[in-house]
């Protein structure tokens, strides 16, 4: 009987621990479609689908080597077509970016080459 009580208590602790762990952040690799500095959003395209991310005061903006972009969302480096990695969390129906990091731009494909 004592063993059953201990097992039940341990199971309860395990379930409580799982319920209190914060949601893990997701990551997306995409190209910038637009940046709206008034609405504080960045819209990207991945697999022919657009996703819009909200930007907060806590969002980090990093260059390709991981150094901060001084102007944040207003940086000229955040422009249409730029490849980025966005780390984010869903907040209801909103996607909130915690980090936006620039990726090196790939060379444009040569015509006739695959």
Domain that holds residue 81: 26-102
Q: Is residue 52 part of a domain?
A: yes
Q: Do the Cβ atoms of 30 and 84 come closer than 8 Å?
A: yes
Q: Which of residues 25 and 80 earns the better pLDDT score?
A: 80
Please report the pLDDT score of residue 105 as a whole number. 78
Question: Per the structure block, which two tokens stand in for 71?
Answer: 């102007």
Q: Do the Cβ atoms of 102 and 112 come closer than 8 Å?
A: no
- For the question of whether the overall pTM of this predicted structure is more than 0.85, the answer is no
Q: Is residue 18 part of a domain?
A: no
Q: Is the pLDDT of residue 58 over 60?
A: yes
Q: Is the pLDDT of residue 93 over 90?
A: yes
Split into its structural domains, the chain has a count of: 1
Please report the pLDDT score of residue 22 as a whole number. 53
What CATH code is carried by the domain that includes residue 56?
2.40.50.320
Q: Is residue 71 part of a domain?
A: yes
Q: Is the pLDDT of residue 3 over 70?
A: no
């Amino acid at each position: 009987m004592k063993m059953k009580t201990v097992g039940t208590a341990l199971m309860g602790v395990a379930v409580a621990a799982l319920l209190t762990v914060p949601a893990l952040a997701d990551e997306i690799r995409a190209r910038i479609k637009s940046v709206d500095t008034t609405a504080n959003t960045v819209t990207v395209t991945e697999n022919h689908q657009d996703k819009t991310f909200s930007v907060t005061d806590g969002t980090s903006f990093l260059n390709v080597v991981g150094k901060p972009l001084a102007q944040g969302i207003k940086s000229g480096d955040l422009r249409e077509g730029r490849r980025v990695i966005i780390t984010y969390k869903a907040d209801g129906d909103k996607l909130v970016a915690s980090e936006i990091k620039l990726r090196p731009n790939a060379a444009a494909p040569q015509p006739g080459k695959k």
